[in-house]
Amino acid sequence: MSLTDKFGRSITDLRISVTDRCNYKCVYCRTGNEGALYGDLPFADYLRMARVLVELGIQRVRITGGEPLLRKGVMDCVRQLARLRTADGDELDIALTTNGHLLADMAQPLKDAGLRRVTVSMDAVDSERFARI
Task: Name the residue with higher pLDDT: 21 or 89.
Answer: 89
Inter-residue contact 9 to 43 (CB < 8 Å): no
Mean pLDDT on 7-29: 89
**Alpha-carbon gap, residue 26 to 51, rounded angstroms:** 34
35 SS3 class? coil
Residue 23, pLDDT above cutoff 90: no
| The pLDDT of residue 27 | 72
pTM of the shown model: 0.86
For 90-100, give one letter per residue: b (16+ CB within 10 A) or e: eebbbbbbbbe
